[in-house]
Amino acid sequence: MEAVVVKNAGSHFLLSALPQWAPFPAVLRGKVRLERSGATNPVAVGDRVEYVLDGPAADELHPAVIKAVLPRANYVIRRSTNLSRQSHVIAANLDRALLVVTLYFPEIKLPFLDRLLVTCEVYGVKAVIVLNKMDICRDLAPEEVERFCEIYRGAGYEVIECSALTGEGIDRLRELCSRGTSLVSGESGVGKSSIIKAIDPSLDPKVGRISTAHLQGKHTTSLYEMYPLSGGGFIVDTPGLRGFGLVDLEKEEISKYFPEMLRVADDCRFVPCTHTHEPGCAVKAAVDSGLISPERYNSYLGMLEEDKKFR
């Protein structure tokens, strides 16, 4: 029998035969192998799995047993920050990833966002940027809001200006999430759980506070979990990320996953071109002319130089 993983609590899972929402417990026994995967978690939320019953019905005393993970349409994966050769699958079989950021509280780190965006490009997940806490940021730094939107809309991404407090942008998010499965991800403290609750007030994900001492978010979600939305669709909530390393990506491939670089790279004089030192580089010319933002280009250079630094 087949079902979808809707909750991952480490060694225990909940499954449901989506689109029907009727979760039941499951465990993983024996080895479940994934081709070419060094992931610390062979089973992720969103995975379609084959299972068998260990009794007449699945319950806490007789959970279902996951036997195999079916091929994934796509997934989001990150390098484990403390295990340089291992990685962690955040979620699989997604229709989109809502990448939640704020300019302040916590302060945005553009290289972190750009690694998330590159990963979505690599593994075939449509990325939408959610700029949260606009009730604060627009008054605090309107020029920075405008610049941020200019950078990422110019790169080709949808940017939704949002406030979980005032409701700005929530209707657009609700419309997006009503279709298929949406991942909500981002750094700790950016307001993911608050946004989920604003999209569907019947849900009650944990909402945390910002540490004013360091302006860093606290981890309020410890589990990877999917929720059904009252307006249709499913949403995946994840723990806040404090680090994000790229996985299975050669340095010469990275520029292919910056859409604005890909648009002009064919005009480079040399092929292949690293877009760093070569004469006649169309990407560097686009940066000089303002067609490609220096912020995004600097993120690209940082990815080229990364070794074991994932923060």
With a cut of 50, list the residues of the chain below it in pLDDT: 35-36, 83, 207-221, 307-311
Helix residue spans in 76-109 (DSSP H): none
| Phi/psi of residue 282, nearest 5 degrees | -70, -30
- For residues 78 and 121, the answer to whether their CB atoms sit within 8 Å is no
Domains, the chain, ordered by start: 2-69 (2.40.50), 75-237 (3.40.50.300), 251-305 (1.10.40.50)
Q: How far is Cα 169 from Cα 184, in angstroms, rounded to an integer?
A: 15
| Residue showing tokens 């859409």 | 259
Query: Tell me: the pLDDT tens digits for 115-133?
Result: 999 999 999 999 999 999 9
What DSSP element (H or E) covers 184?
strand 181-186
| Predicted local distance difference test score (pLDDT) of residue 199 | 96
Q: Mean pLDDT score of the chain, rounded to an integer?
A: 86
Provide the pLDDT for residue 181.
Answer: 98
Question: Which pLDDT belongs to residue 37?
Answer: 55
CB atoms within 10 A of CB 138: 17
Q: Which residues contact 35 (CB under 8 A, 6 or more apart)?
A: none
Phi-psi region of 230 (alpha: psi -120 to 50; beta: other; left: phi over 0): alpha
Those residues with Cβ within 8 angstroms of residue 278's Cβ, 6 or more apart along the chain or in another chain: 268, 269, 270
| Beta partners for residue 161, in sequence order | 131
Amino acid at 215: L
Q: Distance (Å, rounded) from C-alpha 229 to C-alpha 206?
A: 16
30 backbone dihedrals φ, ψ, rounded to 5°: 75, -165
Contact 283, 273 (CB under 8 A): yes
Q: How far apart are CA 230 and CA 222, in angstroms?
A: 23
pLDDT the model gives residue 282: 97
Pairing label, strands 224-228, 2-8: antiparallel
Q: What is the pTM of this model?
A: 0.87
